């Protein structure tokens, strides 16, 4: 079924999905400390819809900067909300959860902001080999899924061991399997900041050179 063309970005299909993600995340936050069933399902559904809104944007030709920013902010805020709860549930590891929040928010914000400053059509477009590899669709989806799965498993383990496999908790097994990928994703986030820092510094150098070139004719006249 065809959808009529219009330019009201706020009601584009992928952005409507984005609003649904926000509502689900808020419900998850509300029940996060008391009801792991409601919170878990709402959080996971919100996270999975991250893939759906991307497909909708391409299918309906409704990719927008607003949608990309909405998507990024929902991802960052959703993960931050879960990590805050994990820091409360596991105070012994609070520093590592705090560090994860700081890396995730700061590095992605710098990368997104730099993409806008240098005029890229998308933050996923970058000349750096690691960034190009990371933003390949299958790799990006896999890394995001296992990262979220790691934190969700830690969350669920606070309430229940879940199904047992040969006497071992399924959630604990999944946490051990996905943990290294969560660490790897954090390192890639640091790489985001490094690449963005290089690009932003290059913009500064270029602007300083342009200012000096403009000032030189005036100096000669004096």
Residue 214's pLDDT is 85
Phi, psi for 31 (deg, rounded to 5)? -100, 0
Per the CB < 8 A criterion, the answer to whether 162 and 156 are in contact is: yes
Q: Inter-axis angle of helices 94-118 and 170-221, to 10 degrees?
A: 40
Distance CA(82)–CA(76), nearest Å, equals: 10
Helix locations, the chain, DSSP H: 13-31, 36-59, 65-89, 94-118, 129-134, 137-157, 170-221
Report, as ranges of residue numbers, the positions in the chain whose pLDDT lies below 70.
1-4, 121-125, 217-222
Q: In the structure encoding, which two tokens stand for residue 81, read together?
A: 């909300």
Per the CB < 8 A criterion, the answer to whether 124 and 135 are in contact is: yes
Distance CA(22)–CA(78), nearest Å, equals: 8
Residue 1's pLDDT is 44
Cα–Cα distance list, 135 to 60, 70, 123 (Å): 21, 18, 9
Residue 221's pLDDT is 44
Active site members:
75
Q: How far is CA 56 from the centre of its chain?
A: 18
What is the tens place of the pLDDT at every residue in 140-160? Answer: 999 999 999 999 999 999 999
Distance CA(153)–CA(135), nearest Å, equals: 25
The DSSP call for residue 121 is S
Phi, psi for 164 (deg, rounded to 5)? -105, 135
Q: In the structure encoding, which two tokens stand for residue 145, read together?
A: 């899924």
Among residues 65, 33, 70, which one has the least CA distance to residue 49? 70
Question: Structure pTM?
Answer: 0.87
């Amino acid at each position: 079924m065809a959808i009529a063309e219009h330019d009201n970005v706020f009601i584009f299909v992928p952005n409507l999905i984005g609003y649904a993600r926000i509502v689900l995340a808020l419900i998850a936050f509300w029940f996060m400390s008391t009801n792991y069933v409601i919170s878990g399902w709402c959080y996971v559904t919100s996270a999975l819809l991250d893939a759906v809104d991307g497909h909708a944007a391409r299918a309906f030709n409704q990719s927008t900067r607003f949608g990309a920013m909405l998507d990024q902010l929902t991802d960052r805020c959703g993960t931050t909300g879960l990590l805050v709860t994990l820091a409360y549930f596991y105070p012994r590891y609070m520093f590592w959860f705090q560090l994860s929040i700081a890396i995730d928010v700061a590095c992605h914000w710098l990368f997104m902001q730099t993409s806008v400053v240098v005029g890229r059509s998308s933050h996923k477009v970058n000349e750096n080999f690691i960034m190009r590899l990371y933003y390949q669709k299958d790799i990006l989806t896999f890394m995001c899924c296992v990262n979220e799965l790691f934190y969700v498993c830690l969350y669920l383990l606070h309430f229940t061991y879940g199904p047992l496999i040969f006497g071992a908790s399924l959630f604990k097994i999944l946490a051990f399997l996905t943990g290294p990928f969560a660490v790897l994703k954090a390192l890639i986030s640091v790489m985001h900041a490094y690449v963005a820092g290089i690009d932003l510094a290059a913009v500064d150098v270029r602007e300083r050179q342009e200012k000096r070139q403009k000032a030189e004719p005036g100096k000669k006249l004096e």
